[in-house]
């Protein structure tokens, strides 16, 4: 039995959870629906961990054409994985408040059309990366997409509280892709950044899941906040946050980063850790998500990762 319980499950599955099909969807609505299938905000985050690594790999400003090809190929690959994820999860998306306004629950796009759309995006991504970047980057992008769809979406998401821990590996690949796009080979610096994103993903996602734990409980997705008390979730968030910050400092010895990165990693890490401890303290005082305000940590985690990778890009430019 989930921690939240049967009442949340019933509430999430009742009422207006199933959005009716729109009477008429114009061209603008259809285009917006297809764009929504790619989850643009996720793409933004993935590209934010790709381009700065290209600067680090180049030791300066990489060739514009290479950046464009990597960004376009990476965006199409991520969009493909997201669209196919939406097809697989359309049954639970209809019941969750956070997702029921997506294209498939609203019946603006059919599952067949969304599947074709996702496959076409994946093929285009692979071709672009293979032709204008290199085979290694194309292979890594394809591996990330397959991992996200098969390991996370199909296998882990609905079966274990470890879903986002190991399934989140797919979101770590852009660090490797950005580096290999420039150098054509793997090295320790992108592996360290890969690990940073790996440890960062659970506290980031569990904060969001705390906010929407009734949604996940209602569709039997065993996110950690669904099956464990908030205090346990808070403690796990703190542990992974410390691991994230500690790992970020490994970039200095393996990549010879300068003062800009060290200062940024220190200051950003201190803020991230402080917010994680704040949430843990709140979770020991109340089980009400509104009083815990987990979205505060969610937004701080976004800012942490964004600015840390900006520092990765700026550091070599400042010598």
Q: Which long-range contacts (CB under 8 A, 24 or more apart) does 287-290 make?
A: 287/229, 287/230, 289/210, 289/211, 289/213, 289/230
Nearest to 46 by CA among 144, 182, 167: 144
pLDDT tens digits for range 72-125:
999 999 999 999 999 999 999 999 988 988 999 999 999 999 999 999 999 999
User: 7-21, 140-154, 210-224, 288-302: lowest mean pLDDT where?
Assistant: 7-21
pLDDT for residue 16 is more than 70: no
Please write the tens of the pLDDT for every residue from 27-37: 888 999 999 99
pLDDT value, residue 24: 62
pLDDT of res. 15 = 40
**pLDDT one-digit tens code per residue, 143-160:** 999 999 999 999 999 999
Instruction: Give the model confidence (pLDDT) of 272-286 as tens digits.
Output: 999 999 999 999 999
Mean pLDDT confidence for 138-143: 98
8 pLDDT higher than 50? no
200 vs 41, which has greater pLDDT? 200
Structure tokens given for 298: 């969610």
Q: Tokens for 308, please give them.
A: 């840390």
Count of C-beta atoms within a 10 Å radius of residue 290: 9
Helix (H) or strand (E) run with residue 76 in it: helix 64-88
Q: How many other C-beta atoms can be found within 10 angstroms of the C-beta atom of residue 287?
A: 15
Amino acid 265: pLDDT:
98
Q: How many CB atoms lie within 10 A of CB 24?
A: 5
Q: Is a pLDDT exceeding 60 seen at residue 10? A: no
Tens-place pLDDT, residues 46-80: 889 999 999 999 999 999 999 999 999 999 999 99
Q: Are 173 and 125 contacting, i.e. CB atoms less than 8 angstroms apart?
A: no
* CA-CA-CA-CA dihedral for 10, 11, 16, 19, to nearest 10: -60
Residue 212 sits at φ, ψ, to 5 deg, of: -115, 30
């Amino acid at each position: 039995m989930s921690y939240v319980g049967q009442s949340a499950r019933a509430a999430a599955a009742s009422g207006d959870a199933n959005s009716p099909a729109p009477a008429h969807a114009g061209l603008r609505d259809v285009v917006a629906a297809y764009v929504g299938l790619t989850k643009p905000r996720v793409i933004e985050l993935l590209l934010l961990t790709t381009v700065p690594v290209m600067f680090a790999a180049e030791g300066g400003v990489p060739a514009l054409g290479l950046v464009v090809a990597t960004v376009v190929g990476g965006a199409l690959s991520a969009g493909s994985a997201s669209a196919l994820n939406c097809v697989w999860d359309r049954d639970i998306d209809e019941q969750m408040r956070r997702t029921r306004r997506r294209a498939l629950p609203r019946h603006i796009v059919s599952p067949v059309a969304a599947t074709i759309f996702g496959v076409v995006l994946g093929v285009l991504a692979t071709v672009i990366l293979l032709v204008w970047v290199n085979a290694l980057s194309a292979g890594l992008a394809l591996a990330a997409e397959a991992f996200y769809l098969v390991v996370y979406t199909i296998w882990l998401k609905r079966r274990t509280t470890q879903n986002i821990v190991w399934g989140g590996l797919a979101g770590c690949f852009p660090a490797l892709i950005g580096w290999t796009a420039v150098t054509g080979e793997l090295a320790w610096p992108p592996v360290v950044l890969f690990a940073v994103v790996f440890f960062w993903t659970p506290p980031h996602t569990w904060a969001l899941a705390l906010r929407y734990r009734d949604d996940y409980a209602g569709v039997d997705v065993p996110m950690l906040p669904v099956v464990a008390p908030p205090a346990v979730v808070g403690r796990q968030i703190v542990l992974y946050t410390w691991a994230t910050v500690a790992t970020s400092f490994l970039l200095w010895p393996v990549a010879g980063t300068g003062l800009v990165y060290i200062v940024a990693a220190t200051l950003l890490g201190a803020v991230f850790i402080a917010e994680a401890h704040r949430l843990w303290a709140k979770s020991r005082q109340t089980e009400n998500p509104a009083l815990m305000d987990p979205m505060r940590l969610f937004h701080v985690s976004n800012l942490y990762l964004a600015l840390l990778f900006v520092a990765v890009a700026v550091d070599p430019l400042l010598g």
